[in-house]
Amino acid sequence: METALANEYRRLCRDPATHQLAYLRLRRAIRNVVEHRDIEPGQALPSERDLAQALGLSRVTVRKAIAGLVEEGLLNQRHGAGTFVAERIIKPMSRLTSFTEDLRARGLNPRSEFFERSIGEVTPEEAMALNLSPGAPVVRLHRVRYAGDEPLAIERSVVPASALPDPGEVRDSLYEVLERYGNRPRRALQRLRAVLLGAQHARLLHVAVGSAGLSIERRSFLDDGRVVEFTSSWYRGDIYDFVAELHTD
Ligand code: GLP
């Protein structure tokens, strides 16, 4: 495992396209080995001292590389025990990322199983959420989101058909398809609520009825202020940690 990281770091050193600053290069190397599962969630990283020695870097550089990944939630540190690859999916709340990106960054394999992928006329509630006029066409996606075989969330998304003409194009990532049309969300409002999962949601998520869940609503916007998505999600409460950075001003 240590060798995988050292090899990856050395590979990046030889790659002219990679960032020249050592701590950023090391950060990328750690991200890559986690993504490729050379270091599994829950496993420890080599100690700062061992890493510094193996890579010919100063401990300050190693510490700086690790600190950034701790902040992102990819790694966590336990006092006296060392640095570990995070087991729960820790999601910084201030970054507008997709489910697919969050999972891939942790070396997991995101998948969707669809109940619905259709196009139809906007309902009054959807029109309010998306700022659309009555009669406008919308795309509806209803799916269970998996990491490999494990269900993590249920999502119901409504998107104006003007931003996504063909629902059939969405196989796994909605944001990837929106990006292709130049309609990737740039800003979003998100509301989180603790919920107890009812029978239907619990069954789909393979948890007991009444388990803790998180209900998340996201309304995302394009640069020009148009709403591009309204998604209601139910996440399993035992897998996700949402982390927010707070400022005094
Ligand atoms: C998260 C958000 C959803 C968003 C989705 C896009 O799950 N809660 O609001 O629609 O990401 O993810 P993807 O691009 O993987 O479909």
Is 98's C-beta closer than 6 angstroms to any atom of ligand 1? Answer: yes
Helix (H, G, I), strand (E, B) or coil at 22: helix
DSSP 8-class letter at 123: P
C-beta of 233 in contact with ligand 1 (< 6 A): yes
Which phi-psi region, left, alpha or beta, contains residue 65 (left: φ > 0; alpha: ψ -120 to 50)?
alpha
- Confidence (pLDDT) at 243: 72
Provide the residue count of the chain: 249
> Which pLDDT score is estimated for 152?
94
161 in the same domain as 118: yes
Answer yes or no: are the C-beta atoms of 173 and 100 closer than 8 Å.
Answer: yes
Check if 230 has its Cβ closer than 6 Å to any atom of ligand 1: no
Q: Ligand 1: does its nearest atom lie under 6 Å from the Cβ of 25?
A: no
Residues 183 and 97 in one domain: yes
pLDDT tens-digit series, residues 52-76: 999 999 999 999 999 999 888 889 8
Q: Which of 16, 78, 92 is closest to 42 using CA atoms?
A: 78
Spatial separation of the C-alpha atoms in residues 14 and 58, rounded to whole Å? 19
Please report, for the domain that includes residue 69, its CATH number. Answer: 1.10.10.10
Say if ligand 1 is within 6 A of residue 99 CB: yes
Domain-ending residue, one of 46, 64, 87 = 87
Any ligand 1 atom below 6 A from CB of 216 = yes
Task: Identify whether residues 146 and 32 lie together within a single domain.
Answer: no
Number of H helices, E strands in the chain: 8, 10
* Structural tokens at position 24: 């950023």
Q: How many domains does the chain fold into?
A: 2
Same domain flag for 152 and 203: yes
The pLDDT value given to residue 178:
97
Q: Which domain holds residue 148?
A: 90-243
CA 38 to ligand 1 center in whole angstroms: 26
Is 173 a pocket residue for ligand 1 (Cβ < 6 Å)? Answer: yes
Considering the domain architecture, whether residues 81 and 112 belong to the same structural domain is answered as: no
Residue 140 has what pLDDT? 98
Residues of the chain with pLDDT under 50: 1
Q: How far is the CA of 174 from the centre of ligand 1 (A)?
A: 7
Predicted pLDDT of residue 106? 80
What predicted TM-score, i.e. pTM, was given to this entire model?
0.79
- Closest ligand 1 atom to 233 CA: 8
Is-contact 144 156, C-beta < 8 A?
no
Q: What is the CATH number of the domain that holds 210?
A: 3.40.1410.10
Gap from CA of 7 to ligand 1 centroid (Å): 33
Q: Give 182 Cα–ligand 1 centroid separation in angstroms.
A: 16
**Number of the ligand 1 atom closest to the C-alpha atom of 110:** 15
CA of 175 to the centre of ligand 1 (A): 7
* Among candidate residues 54, 72, 87, the one where a domain is terminated: 87
| Whether residue 48 is found in the same domain as residue 138 | no
Q: 49 and 15 in one domain?
A: yes
Q: How many beta carbons lie within 10 A of that of residue 74, not counting itself?
A: 22
Report how far residue 27's alpha carbon sits from residue 243's, in angstroms, rounded to the nearest whole number.
20
Residues 69 and 113 in one domain: no
Q: Of all atoms in ligand 1, which is nearest to the CA of residue 103?
A: 15
Determine, yes or no, domain membership for 248: no
Maximum Cα–Cα distance for the chain, whole Å?
65
71 and 15 share a domain? yes
Q: With respect to residue 249, please indicate whether it lies within any of the assigned structural domains.
A: no
The domain boundary, picked from 36, 55, 87, lies at 87
The residues facing 139 across adjacent strands are: 119, 159
Q: Write down the pLDDT at residue 2.
A: 63
Q: Is 32 exposed, middle or buried (0-12, 13-18, 19+ CB in 10 A)?
A: middle
In a domain, residue 223? The reply is: yes
| Residue 84 CB neighbours (<10 A) | 16
